[in-house]
Amino acid sequence: MKIGDPPPLSATYSRGLALPGDPDKGISAVGELGFREGQLLQARIAAVGADGKVLLDIGGRLVAARSDSVLELGREVWLEVRQAGVTPWFSPAGQKGAALDLLKLLMTDSRSLAATFQGISSLAADGTLMSVGDLAEIANFFRLFGQNSLAEQAAPEKLVRTMLWLNGLPSSGQPAGPAVSFSEEISSLLALLRSREGNGGISSLLSKPGLENLIRLAEALQSFNAGQSTTAQSFANLFPCFFAQGAGWGEWLIRVDPEQDGQAEKKRKSRRIRFDLFLHMSRLGDVHVRAALVDTSLTAEFLVADEMAQEYFAGLLPELRELLAGLNMSAVLTCQILSANLLHELKSALQEIIGHSSYSIIDITA
């Protein structure tokens, strides 16, 4: 077996590498696993030997392989089957795997995530709690969450700060402070809760399973953004956004289409920037804002859950057009009832980005 594109990892041997702690566990023949071209697999590096020899644990089955790159023992990696057969080829599929992890989490645990965001939002809004015992130890997290929560007034800088926070902001809020990421802050909160078993002050508002899911969400977003798209269609990043007073949360997807090759600078076509907001709002239901910007021309479509939400957003569109006109921007704005599930809309967008037409939201095992 080979992992490549580049570098290659090939399964051309079956012996000579012991598995620590489980020497009797047999190594599966590659053909027994029935790999299919385009299949996504999650593998753990079970053992590493000389000359690039490794053992991959794929769904509980060991596969011997060879790699020209250094692979870290115990690390979990996503692979895509590029060629099936007796000696299959694999390619690293970090971004595709992260998209799969993300969608599995959102589709199975969106309710617990919503409850957790609402609990955090409530604590962030209650300034009196910041000096009380447990909360004083992690007050910075709630302060940053409150500062970056969206409210009635437009504040695009909050989205930018949240983008930065996902990958690490100074914990003190000042440039000189140590960088701490969103997932690290949540991990600290979870560790604190575990050390305060029986203290219902925070636990009643924040469920620990919800916090664990939130950590997974942040890590999946980081992994997705760290990987470049496998297609040349666009560059994309996905970030969380949250609202004050527990009003909702969602994902913000930004895509920048590539410049056209072979054109002179002065004749080069303007690049299109596409924005998607996938929002779960407590009062308005699911909202998908789909927008595209080319130069000073904006096209935006608000897809909402029902007639009440449609009426609400339609009433805001004239004011939004006037605001954009004041910025010398032309805008075509529409609002209609959402015909598809919001998560399926997000799934379709991610499939377009990673160049994978379809995949199942299940764990893949041999």
Answer yes or no: do 234 and 319 share one domain: yes
In sequence order, what E strands does the chain have? 2-3, 9-10, 40-48, 53-58, 61-67, 76-83, 89-92, 169-170, 179-180, 235-242, 248-256, 273-281, 285-294, 297-304, 330-337
Answer yes or no: do 80 and 208 share one domain: no
Strands 76-83 and 9-10, how do they pair?
Answer: unpaired
Answer yes or no: do 180 and 32 share one domain: no
Answer yes or no: do 137 and 48 share one domain: no
- Residue 12 located in a structural domain: yes
- Residue 137 located in a structural domain: yes
State which of 54, 72, 92 marks the end of a domain.
92
CA angle 191, 166, 259 (to 5 degrees): 160
State which of 41, 63, 92 marks the end of a domain.
92
Answer yes or no: do 157 and 14 share one domain: no
pLDDT in tens, 305-364: 999 999 999 999 999 999 999 989 999 999 999 877 888 888 888 877 777 655 544 333
- Residue 113 located in a structural domain: yes
pTM: 0.72
262 phi-psi bin (left φ>0, alpha ψ -120 to 50, beta other): left
Answer yes or no: do 153 and 123 share one domain: yes
Place of tokens 């560790």: 191
pLDDT in tens, 158-174: 888 888 888 776 544 55
- What pLDDT, on the 0 to 100 scale, is given for residue 15? 42
- Residue 364 located in a structural domain: no
CATH of the domain at 76: 2.40.50.140
- Residue 360 located in a structural domain: no
State which of 37, 57, 92 marks the end of a domain.
92
Q: Which residues of the chain have pLDDT under 70?
A: 1-33, 68-69, 85-88, 92, 94, 126-137, 169-178, 196-208, 227-234, 258-270, 356-366
Answer yes or no: do 204 and 257 share one domain: yes
- Residue 208 located in a structural domain: yes
How far is 289 from 317, CA to CA, in rounded Å? 13
Residue 136 makes CB contacts below 8 A (sequence gap 6+) with 130
- What pLDDT, on the 0 to 100 scale, is given for residue 11? 46
Answer yes or no: do 139 and 85 share one domain: no
- Residue 361 located in a structural domain: no
- What pLDDT, on the 0 to 100 scale, is given for residue 38? 73
Answer yes or no: do 188 and 319 share one domain: yes
Q: Kindly give the residue spans of alpha helices, DSSP state H, lying in 149-272.
A: 156-167, 182-195, 200-203, 208-226
CA angle 268, 269, 274 (to 5 degrees): 140
How far is 33 from 49, CA to CA, in rounded Å? 23
Answer yes or no: do 141 and 55 share one domain: no
How far is 107 from 118, CA to CA, in rounded Å? 18
- What pLDDT, on the 0 to 100 scale, is given for residue 100? 79
Q: Which domain holds residue 232?
A: 97-354
| Residue 104 in tokens | 């599995």
What is the total count of domains within the chain? 2
